[in-house]
Amino acid sequence: MEQEIYLDNAATTPVLPEVVDDMVRSLTQDFGNPSSLHRLGLESERQMKQARGRVAGLIQVPAEDIIFTSGGTESNNLAILGTARARKRYGNHCITTQIEHPSVLNSFKYLEEKGWDITYLPVDKEGVIDIEEFKKTVRDDTVLVSMAHVNNEIGSIQPIREIGLFLKNNYPQILFHTDAVQSFGRIQIRPFEWGIDLLSASGHKVHGPKGIGALYIKKGTALAAQQWGGGQELGIRSGTENLPGIVGFGRAAQWVGQVMSKDEACISRIKLKLTQEIAQVVPEAVFLGPRPEEGAPHILGLSIPGVRGETLLHVLESQGVYVSTGSACSSRNVKTSYVLGAIGVSNQVAEGAIRLSFSYLNTSDELSQVPNILRKSVDQVKRFTRR
């Protein structure tokens, strides 16, 4: 295999060398417990503070409004279950969408079992909710709205700003949570200006390590802890902090903040160009979800009807190109994706679905090779299945 082209960045991203360096230093030299009172402890605390500032800086919120968690999954669980427990006496209703990540959907399923009333909003064929429909579902007993900014399978972008401002102007008592795991560091998000109370982010989607995440909690937002211990992270997330992970996440957030403003437009252009080239070279490809110019710059869903996505994935892999079928976290146990079902894709198209996802590290040179590699791979699968 000559060259490897990694196009599965919505699943996870390669860790930057400077992140690794900082983490190694944290593991080997600056290993003190941030709660310890001696020099090593104080140094760890200083580094944690720096990392908190870097993560907060990317979304322009005060550093003290960020707590560290073990990742996007925990942040989503904590935001949803923590709100439900803290606000039970104000109501019994939450609103989300049908295409959320399992860490959101399964948190709401759990609440349903406990007697909560959950509205799962449908989406249109581009994977976006109808804002007028949304407004009609808000009730006096609604306590939480939770909606991902960018969908991890098809890259659709929800009108988060519009929703946040609507809630703040009309229902200021309702908390608004957004799962920004796919948008943090990839497209702009401004929780403070957009009326967002809670925001989840994850380190490994922005060239940081796995197993570290953050939850932005707007000052004054009541949230009940989901674990109890020594009172770290504002008492909301007890447990000795994962300092190497935190330091690595901070460094990655700083890097991504520097490249984002100039490279976001660049990734968008690359995606647009790739879509056009694939449409020419592989005309039977069906593009899934939002129009390329409207979805997130780093996610491109497509399907070759009649060619199983998983088979195509492995043939592409043999050519050095790494993609995914649907989302990585669910691709092992879900037959056809509920997200594709929700946007009205037929079973045959859903079975052929693959997801290409990009990062700031992909070069236009490597991406220019993808349409031909895809053509070759599709032909190979078709020859094989015809036999």
Ligand X SMILES: Cc1ncc(COP(=O)(O)O)c(C=O)c1O
Among the listed ranges 135-143, 179-187, 309-317, 335-343, the one in contact with ligand X (CB under 6 A) is 179-187
**Cβ 355 to ligand X shortest distance, Å:** 11
Q: Determine if 26 is a binding residue for ligand X (CB under 6 A).
A: no
CB of 202 or CB of 362, closer to ligand X: 202
DSSP 205: G
DSSP 140: T
**Cβ 116 to ligand X shortest distance, Å:** 21
CB of 279 or CB of 329, closer to ligand X: 329
Among the listed ranges 67-75, 114-122, 169-177, 331-339, the one in contact with ligand X (CB under 6 A) is 67-75
Residue 320, number of CB atoms within 10 A of its CB: 15
β strands within the chain, DSSP E: 5-6, 66-69, 93-97, 117-121, 142-148, 175-179, 198-202, 213-217, 286-288, 299-303, 321-322, 353-357
Q: Which residue, judged by CB position, is nearest to ligand X in the bound state?
A: 72
The backbone torsions φ and ψ at residue 149, rounded to the nearest 5 degrees and listed phi first, read -70, -55
Residue type, 229: G
Interactions with ligand X, residue window 88-117 (CB under 6 A): 101, 103
Among the listed ranges 174-182, 264-272, 281-289, 346-354, the one in contact with ligand X (CB under 6 A) is 174-182
Judged by CB under 6 A, which of 72, 155, 250, 292 binds ligand X?
Answer: 72
**Cβ 103 to ligand X shortest distance, Å:** 5
Among the listed ranges 157-165, 178-186, 275-283, 294-302, the one in contact with ligand X (CB under 6 A) is 178-186
Contact flags string 110-149 toward ligand X, x per CB under 6 A = --------------------------------------x-
Q: What token pair was written down for 3?
A: 């060259």
Catalytic residue (choose from 329, 334, 361, 373): 329
Q: Determine if 182 is a binding residue for ligand X (CB under 6 A).
A: yes
The helix/strand/coil state of 363 is: coil
The backbone torsions φ and ψ at residue 148, rounded to the nearest 5 degrees and listed phi first, read -70, 145
CB of 91 or CB of 108, closer to ligand X: 108
User: Contacts with ligand X: how many residues (CB under 6 A)?
Assistant: 15
Contact flags string 211-250 toward ligand X, x per CB under 6 A = --x-------------------------------------
- Cα gap 332→327, rounded to integer Å: 9
303: left (phi over 0), alpha (psi -120 to 50) or beta: beta
Q: Determine if 13 is a binding residue for ligand X (CB under 6 A).
A: no
Q: Concatenated DSSP letters for 72-138? A: HHHHHHHHHHHHHHHHGGG-SEEEEETT--HHHHHHHHHHHHTT-EEEEE---TTS---HHHHHHH-
Kind of pairing, strands 198-202 and 175-179? Answer: parallel
User: Is 329 annotated as catalytic?
Assistant: yes
DSSP 204: G
Torsion of the alpha carbons at 332, 333, 339 and 343, rounded to the nearest 10: 100
**Cβ 206 to ligand X shortest distance, Å:** 11
Dihedral sign, Cα of residue 378, residue 128, residue 73, residue 29: positive
- Cα gap 47→246, rounded to integer Å: 9
Q: Determine if 71 is a binding residue for ligand X (CB under 6 A).
A: yes
Among the listed ranges 66-74, 222-230, 268-276, 294-302, the one in contact with ligand X (CB under 6 A) is 66-74
**Cβ 147 to ligand X shortest distance, Å:** 11
CB of 299 or CB of 307, closer to ligand X: 299
**Cβ 148 to ligand X shortest distance, Å:** 5
**Cβ 13 to ligand X shortest distance, Å:** 11
Residues designated as active site: 329
Q: Which residues in this chain contact ligand X in the complex, by CB under 6 A?
A: 71-73, 76, 101, 103, 148, 152, 179, 181-182, 202, 213, 327, 329
